Amino acid sequence: MLRRMLMTSGLDHTVRLSRPVDFIAIVPYMLGFHPQRSIVVMAFEPGADPDSTTRGLRFSVRFDLPGNSEDTPELARHLAELLTRNGSERAMLIGYGPGWHVTPVIDAVRGALSEAGIDTIDALRVDEGRYWSYACPDPGCCPPDGVPYDVGDNPAAAAAVFAGYVARPDRAALTAMLAPTGGPDREHVRAATRQACTQARTLLTSGDAHDWYHEGLDHITAALDRTQAGQELSPGEVAELSVRLTAILVRDAAMTLIGRYDDATHIRLWTQLTRRAEPDFAAPPAALLAFLALRTGDGPLARVAVERALSADPRYSLAGLIRTALDCGLSPETICGLDFAGMADEIADRAAQCPDGTRPVLPEGW
């Protein structure tokens, strides 16, 4: 029923998938959480050898099952366009939920993919510990009552865990990773942010020349150094950096340090700042986190970081661009090919020519 597939992660681990339960087992680790009422599409690249049954995973996407049946054709068209745009020729579909909700969506998506010339390897429905195949007519293989499965000792899941993947109980648990911190730290950061805003406002209204760009770059570098050393930022450092990042060119300067510090250090810093910064200041670090997550192939983290940024500022353009990239299935390789170090001089020149872009833009009420 299934041909052999390969899932290769950004950590250079290869997971071999050959049975329906293998695909079911690996999905939560690709998404970062166990899906519910969802459709997941795994798009595979064509094999180098036309006669080969081995295919590599190109990308995977998840969408909520439409709440309104009238939205199903649009979702199906969108998925077909997404796979076509990315040159995918084969796809695996997995729907999560009861048959009345999943079946119309799977049927519509299979039809749209077929019209686009994309082969559906298999289409499964998963619900309450059983799966059903829409592509297998053999009741001996796929009985009407479904096939019970257990992923507890599945080698694909074990390989994903070994590669460092985590499957959280649900999407809410993934989103909670970036929720604002509370308690005494929140109080200290809020007080420090008020002070940093007062100082910034004084400088902005003084009329004196101030090198906001290089000062901001120094704050970013110091924060990355502390993060690389395993140290947490003080409330004052969180506040000062939060204020500096409201300047677009200072935020862009942070990207020029990609490569100078490893991706994991960047992700730890921007995760910390997204959580600890005052919510009105969360959009820049959350967008930077989304960018780094997209670069490293962590689509689930990129998605929730984008949502966090847009919840702070619905018009934040960088977050909007990253959301579009995610919706279009932009590959991490595209991001990795960018010359971030080479941007440093260009951004510094822009900062010199457009000093307004280096000055903090304080949120209303601050």
What would the pLDDT profile of 252-301 be if each residue is shown by its tens digit? 999 999 989 999 999 999 999 999 999 999 999 999 999 999 888 788 88
* 25 vs 122: CA distance, rounded Å: 15
pLDDT band at 51 (very low <50, low <70, confident <90, very high): very low
User: How, if at all, do strands 14-17 and 5-8 pair?
Assistant: antiparallel
What is the domain range of residue 239?
177-358
What would the pLDDT profile of 77-102 be if each residue is shown by its tens digit? 999 998 998 888 899 999 999 999 99
Same domain, 207 and 353: yes
Residue 328 amino acid letter: C
What would the pLDDT profile of 108-156 be if each residue is shown by its tens digit? 999 999 999 999 999 999 999 999 999 988 888 889 899 999 888 888 8
Please give the helix or strand (H or E) that residue 38 lies within, else none: strand 38-44
* 311 vs 282: CA distance, rounded Å: 9
Among residues 136, 170, 204, the one where a domain terminates is 170
- Lay out the sheet containing 90-96: strands in order across: 14-17, 5-8, 55-64, 38-44, 90-96, 119-127, 130-133, 147-148
Same domain, 148 and 193: no
How many structural domains comprise the chain? Answer: 2
* 84 vs 78: CA distance, rounded Å: 10
* 86 vs 75: CA distance, rounded Å: 17
Same domain, 94 and 184: no
* 120 vs 194: CA distance, rounded Å: 56
Q: Which residues on adjacent β-strands are paired with residue 132?
A: 125
pLDDT band at 50 (very low <50, low <70, confident <90, very high): very low
Its sign, for the CA torsion 201, 202, 205, 211, is negative
Among residues 134, 149, 170, the one where a domain terminates is 170
What would the pLDDT profile of 313-343 be if each residue is shown by its tens digit? 999 999 999 998 888 777 666 676 677 777 8
Same domain, 320 and 264: yes
CATH number of the domain encompassing residue 150: 3.40.140.10
Residue 56 burial (CB count, 10 A): 14
Same domain, 322 and 252: yes
Its sign, for the CA torsion 360, 286, 319, 228, is positive
Residue 85 covered by a domain: yes
Listed in sequence order, the residues at least 6 apart from 123 whose beta carbon sits closer than 8 Å to its beta carbon are 92, 93, 94, 95, 106, 109, 110, 133, 134, 135
Residue 8 burial (CB count, 10 A): 13
Residue 232 burial (CB count, 10 A): 13
pLDDT for the residue numbered 304: 93
Same domain, 252 and 323: yes
Residue 123 amino acid letter: A
Same domain, 189 and 295: yes
| 20-29, 65-74, 266-275, 330-339: the lowest-pLDDT one | 330-339
